[in-house]
Structure 1
Amino acid sequence: MKEQTRYYNHIQNLIKTGSNQNIELAFTIANSLNIRREKIILPWLELITLCEIEGKTKFEKLTKLFEIDYIDLSHQGLFKVPRNIEHLKNVNSIDLSGNNLDKVPNSLLSFPNLYDLNLAQNNIGELPSNFCDNLTNLYSLDLSKNKIKYLPKNFEKLKDLRYLYLNQNQLTEIDFDFKEAKKLEILDLSFNKISKIKDTCFPTSLKNIELQNNNLSQIPNSICNCKSINSILAQDNMIICLPKSIGKLINLQTLNLENNLLKILPKSFEELMCLEELNLRKNKLEEINLNFTKLRILQKLYLWRNYISDVPESFYKIKELKELSIKGNLLHESTKKQIISNYLECKIYV
């Protein structure tokens, strides 16, 4: 019995190499020892089934399994990952979203070529301390809709990361920075409980950031160095002031600050010359003393439910404006009429 177990383990080790030649040798040895092929393939059967590997023979199915570079195991009700998944060394993309995983399996940390990992919509509460050690080639990481409360310090090792989704978790603080992630373009931290983000957090490569539905009182100054950024969503926070140098974001097109506690806007705000959509609904603004003529391509402006009692002369000279909401303020009736008559072709809520 011990001898047969030793041969069986040897056969499995040959298969784990993923080499067609070794897999063929494993089947040859099994035949010579009268070990049934069903027994040989049993440890791989779940993977073959879930990955929908087709083949006329068991040998063909096994060889095809080792050829795949993408694994889609999403929405399978899995509580753990299939056995032997770590031996599929050609895999560079794994989707395990919509399952019941409560932790990141160690088997996922041994894919040196993995560039896309989706673990969204599970029950993961924390990431292992060595999470990033062997995943340094990650291009896209989706950890959204989990229960993660903090991130490991070595998260900054993910230098090739471009897309990072951490939305809808239980994060309260981001106490490290992504300076080394010089390719990061999209960062989603929305729908957490974040009250503090390290001031040097954001890399200059950012193009889109989502901070909405947190507990932030301010946006880190490092955002002003992200000169390629075109979208900032920071609605539903408790932001009381904006970085003074926000005007440096010369490529910013969309800025949503709805439902915050802003009373004034920094003077540099009017330097956002590429701004197309500005949402300042439900703040505490008493004035908007900006030179709106500089916002040459602004198309949508939302100022609903503030405390604005007057507008500057330049407010009537926003040439590309298509939609304006300034209802629920303290404007005089004559000012309202002037706004309406000035923007007859706009969709207006006054």
Structure 2
Amino acid sequence: MMTANNLLKGMLCVIGIIITFLVTAQPAKNYTSLEHALFFTDSVQWLSLRNKGLTEIPDELFALHNTRYLDLGLNPIKVISGKIENLDKLFYLDLSNSELSQLPEEIKSLSFLRYVYLRYNKPTNLDRDFQLLAQLPNLKALHLKIPGLEELPESVGQLAHVEYLELSDTHIKSLPESFAELKNLNVLYVNNDMRFDILNNIRVLARLPKLSELHLEGDQFTKLPSTINQLRSLEYLYLNNNRLKELPPEIQDLKKLRYIDVSNNDIPNLLLDQYRDQYAPTLRIRF
């Protein structure tokens, strides 16, 4: 089964292959050492410094101006230098598991940037940062891990180009009204958020015309509201690792729904068997 998430992963693999074979002054190579990469500054297009213990991005890295793919994940980086604007061909940026508090103003100049992974530690001005990200004309996928975040700023609605948005480990109860402005959003994750109120957020989610894949995993809610049938564009629904005891009958109103994951919930086996018989073969259910 090819979900939007799997498609994204496949696209990243293809991107990696394309980047590797792009023609430059030197044969393009993948590097996992900054020291080695600095010998071939013009040929570096793929650089991974994952889990190197970095607390900041070394200034030397900004000389690698042809870099398309930059993985700095699993480093406790607190600040991104404004010199990142020198990486004006950057396509993919991974700062997952970092300790950011804000983004530099210069990030808005990275016009080719398409995939961004960020982890914040007590953001100082998330509203400003979303406004900066909104100026990236090619941004399609945004992964945000912001432990303890209680609300999203209204500026999230300015991320008009984003098709894939992941919010994890937050304490968000309600999505702002402006969230409905994400008209190109196909895939949404709101995972591991025990305060997320699905009932009060259906109205906003229902105004996302392209929302085809919704992940509400590990949110610990006990009931799926009957108004779930308002999410008419849904094809894939992930409700695993919650505390559901049943599914509302209105789930069958979702005519485009092809797959639903209710594994690791509190639904009795007898009821699960009933769902299997009731919804097969048009809807695949994972128990």
- CA–CA separation in structure 1 for the residues paired with 2:232 and 2:225: 13
Q: What is the identity, as a one-letter code, of the residue corresponding to 2:215?
A: L
- TM-score, with normalisation over the residues of structure 1? 0.57
Deviates most, 251-260 or 134-143:
251-260
The corresponding residue for 2:36 is 52
Matches within 5 A, 1:131-280: 132-144=107-119, 146-149=120-123, 151-153=126-128, 154=131, 155-167=133-145, 169-202=147-180, 203-214=182-193, 215-218=195-198, 219=201, 221-237=203-219, 242=225, 244=227, 246-256=229-239, 259=242, 265=248, 267=250, 269-279=251-261
Aligned residues: 247
Structure 1 unaligned blocks of 5 or more: 1-19, 21-46, 55-60, 283-301, 326-350
Which structure has more relative contact order (CA 8 Å, sep 6+)? It is 2
CA separation of 1:246 and 1:134: change in aligned 2, threshold 3 A: farther
Q: What is the identity, as a one-letter code, of the residue corresponding to 2:256?
A: C
CA separation of 1:304 and 1:266: change in aligned 2, threshold 3 A: closer
- Greater C-alpha radius of gyration: 1
Secondary structure at 2:134 match in 1: helix
Secondary structure at 2:105 match in 1: coil
- CA–CA separation in structure 1 for the residues paired with 2:170 and 2:37: 39
The corresponding residue for 1:346 is none
Secondary structure at 1:210 match in 2: strand
Residue 80, structure 1, aligned to residue 56, structure 2: yes
- CA–CA separation in structure 1 for the residues paired with 2:249 and 2:111: 39
Structure 2 unaligned blocks of 5 or more: 1-24, 26-30
Residue 41 (structure 2) aligned to one of 39, 52, 65: 65
- CA–CA separation in structure 2 for the residues paired with 1:81 and 1:319: 52
The percent identity for this pair of structures is 15
CA offset at residue 109 of structure 1?
4.0
The corresponding residue for 1:304 is 267
Secondary structure at 2:170 match in 1: coil
8 Å CA contact 2:118–2:144 kept in 1: the answer is yes
8 Å CA contact 2:115–2:142 kept in 1: the answer is yes
8 Å CA contact 1:200–1:220 kept in 2: the answer is no
Larger strand proportion of the pair:
2
8 Å CA contact 1:177–1:198 kept in 2: the answer is no
- CA–CA separation in structure 2 for the residues paired with 1:262 and 1:160: 42
